[in-house]
Amino acid sequence: MSHLWHLRHDDQSLVLAATGGGLPRAIYWGPALSGDDSEEMMLAADRLDYTGGMMDGIPDLSICPEARRSFPGQPGMVLRAGDGTPLAPRLVHVSDARDGDVIRLTYGDADLGLTYVATFRLHATSGVIEASAGLHSEVPIRVEWLAAPVLPAPQLSDEMIDFSGRWIGEFQPCHRTWGAGIRMRESRTGRSGHEHFPGLIVPVRGATNTQGQVYAFHYGWSGGHRMIAEELPDGRRQIQFGHAAGSELEAGTSFQTAPLLISFSKRGMNGCATVFQRHFRDNIIRFPDPARARPVHYNCWEAVYFDHDVSELQQIATLAADLGAERFVLDDGWFGRRDDDLRALGDWTVDPRKYPDGLDPLINHIHGLGMRFGIWFEPEMVNPDSDLYRAHPEWALGDADQLLGRQQMVLNMALPAVRDYLYDHIAAMLSQYQIDYIKWDHNRLLPMPDAAQTRGVYELLDRLRADFPHVEIESCASGGGRIDAGILSRTHRVWLSDSNDAQERLRIQHDAALFLPACITGSHVGPRECHTSGRVLDIRFRAWVAAQRHMGFEMDPRELTPEEAGVLRDVTGWWKANRDWMMQADILRLDSADPAVIAEQQLAGDGARFVVFAGIATTSAQISQRPLRLTGLQADARYRVDLRNRDDAGPASRGEPALKAGPLELSGQFLMNHGLILPNSFPQRIWVIEGMRL
């Protein structure tokens, strides 16, 4: 007896097969199959041989490898009975059902009273395949590890790319060579984390940004995860994702993984990147008003920090509006007795010392300027020096003598009383004042991983979203510490990094584009002297790097010279004129022949226009410019390309490359296979090239 299931999209096919009533395995994942292949022949063609010194057969690398079936690698689940006795399930087919592009497979172990359900869903609009697993028990059990459906990794791959990082240094790609054994990465900080973004890219040999076969994974969970990339002793390779091991602290009868999003591309890493970008933008994010243009954002944090004065904030708001800002966000320092980061977290009432008439005078002024108003919260945290902690020390997660972070503790979000308290105070602010935006921050790690904490955060966000559907929410966690599909199904924007250093942002944004679309990725023009690096950068560089994503400002506009203000108005005006198509565009990373150049091409959905941002991050290793090849164009079409900021050419450019002199008209074939010669430039500059199909 055999079963076979096939999910097919224009760009990829996933074929699952099972024999003898056992769990299925992926016998094919790659370019879309036409449907001409016989199911029986595909199953037969996937059968492995074996030799001496082995078992008398090859244990299946199934969607949930089982330890008791002699599987030689990491199992897909590790369970214990309520008394701690290890459980080794033997799962057999119970039922399967298909509803369009959704497949639901049910397997059980009657002796142990366990039911395992794997669900696969193809999202036809984006091409992403979503896989998840659930486990149900007749009696309470303990789950130490439960993987989302396990998939094989390609044999013709020499490396895998995952992501490390830190505060103000997120999304750093790590290239790991495949070899015998395990690459295990685990985020145990209680959030998806700066350190371990829950994603993985597996390129087939020879793949680049723009060409070759690539497989990609993203685990949509905000509470810490484990990734296993294992090469078995027999040479097969498996990829597992699940919640951080041991983060289910209580015995229970029902457990569920987060969705594992997967994609295959035959167009290089950009193929997977654009699938994820589209999926996040069109299937995960739910904007309060999807038709409304993304507003130019102003955040006052790096202008005033905790020093709030209404008249000064009104003055700053007036200048920000004159520069083009359309939303003003009041950051940390408006509540309790919050004069620094040592006190008052949890005391979510307006500070009458700073705002004797409440927030209305500031909000009315901001609305009078034509801007919307947003506000900062850090709901999940509490300072020991706060009225809340003094009233409810038992609400803090972990031991009383724990190591603090930023002089704060984490509230136990699994407690209904905590969620009710937070809901009541946030809802009171949203009801009293005209607030349409929340910057939701998360500035310390959990004392231990706890999946119930994440579920509590989700419940609070869901409740607020239901009752205040007009409010947009930004996910911030000391910058990019909580970015994943789980939190983004409840929020609308991410603060990618606390670094407003444009040179660092250029790289961070470039690598984050492997997953994230522009419309949700906040990017701000920071102060002339960056507050996290001390680097002094030209306003042109700072402004154009911010214009690559959802543009905003985060500096004291009073520091700008008239020339700097003019540059910022010009770039902001350009962004506004182009945002409608750019916020829906595909971000394509370009394969730059010069490692000093970090370049991307944003291509409109209809392919009729594009913009290239070519940042010069460091000094080039050679004198002459290497052509920058474009991608994704129609080979037989002609395009008009023009250098938007040619006036930024400085003394490093002494010649007359064609782009410096004026626009060019070239075929897509030429642009993709020869490329464009950019003017010479000093480092920490950026070129902006606009293209239009003729």
DSSP state at residue 258: P
Helix, strand, coil percent values for the chain (each to nearest 5): 25, 30, 45
Nearby residues of 650 by Cβ (< 8 Å), 6 or more positions away: 681, 682, 685
Q: Is 70 exposed, middle or buried (0-12, 13-18, 19+ CB in 10 A)?
A: exposed
Nearby residues of 180 by Cβ (< 8 Å), 6 or more positions away: 231, 233
DSSP string, 399-452: -TTPPPBTTBEEB-TTSHHHHHHHHHHHHHHHHHS---EEEE---S--SS--HH
Nearby residues of 561 by Cβ (< 8 Å), 6 or more positions away: none
Phi, psi of 14 (to 5 degrees): -125, 120
For residue 453, give Cα distances in angstroms to 127, 134, 412, 485: 32, 19, 7, 17
Strand intervals (E) in 73-128: 77-81, 86-87, 92-99, 102-109, 114-122
Contact of 141 with 189, CB cutoff 8 Å: no
Return contacts of 202-208, CB within 8 angstroms, 24+ apart: 202/153, 202/154, 202/157, 202/160, 202/161, 202/229, 202/239, 203/157, 203/159, 203/161, 203/269, 204/154, 204/156, 204/157, 205/156, 205/157, 205/158, 207/268, 207/269, 208/268, 208/269, 208/591
Active site residue 538: no
- 668, amino acid identity: G
CA dist., res. 147 & res. 225, Å (int): 10
Q: Active-site residue among 441, 501, 586, 594?
A: 441
DSSP state at residue 259: P
Active site residue 436: no
- Provide the pairing of β-strand 129-146 with 77-81: antiparallel
Phi, psi of 606 (to 5 degrees): -90, 0
Secondary structure of 448-500 in HEC code, one letter for each residue: CCCHHHHHHHHHHHHHHHHHCCCCEEEECECCECCCCHHHHCCCCEEECCCCC
CA dist., res. 320 & res. 258, Å (int): 41
| Residues recognised as catalytic | 441, 498
